[in-house]
Amino acid sequence: MSTDLPPEIELRISSERVPYREALAEMEARNRAIAAGEARELVWLLEHPPVYTAGTSAAGDELLDPRFEVVEAGRGGRYTYHGPGQRIGYVLLDLGQRGRDVRAFVHALEGWVIATLADIGLESWRAPGRIGIWTRDIDGSEAKIGAIGVRVRRWVTMHGFSVNLAPDLSHFGGIVPCGIAEFGVTSLARLGIDLAPEAFDAALLARAGDFLAGIKPCETR
């Protein structure tokens, strides 16, 4: 698969679903190793079995029906659902070597997803005051197509993004996704775009160079 990732960043694509707790433990270990200079940075593309994850701002009344395992994620944000049909991207980069600008990293991460979706044929955008990636649903209303959640420890990023390719959207009914009750959740499949994970990965990785350019220290831009 063609990729714009430089050699100092490992690309990992998991073909089997990875349990969330297992992925979280791996991210925490890799975070420590990157910070210590003992491992390369990492972009990890994967899928989880059904799980609800709670961010540091999650409110108890936003967990409506805990039909799946609920895991404290340690990232920012509120409740999020992960499951089959959803593409997850965990991005572990050393911001100590990339400008120490967390806002620039989050903005670039959002832009990476938005540009990828545009290449696939779907317009999406940021919405002021609302976390995530948004698009127009089949009824014309605004709906979330992707989630963003980030944690930074030792100046190394953890977590990343999720994009709804073809998940069971009823699974989102157990939570108030990201604490935003007045807007729905949609997917590429619901919008008539049938896309395999491998095709999404290829489109995403073709935009990796633009993403990395967006988080370089200002003096090198």
Q: What share of the chain is helix, strand, coil (3-state, %, to 5)?
A: 30, 30, 40
Angle at 57 between CA 53 and CA 62, to 5 degrees: 65
Q: Which two tokens stand for residue 18?
A: 């990875």
Annotated catalytic residues are 178
Dihedral over Cα of 13, 16, 20, 23: its sign: negative
Count other Cβ atoms within 10 Å, centred on residue 73.
Answer: 24
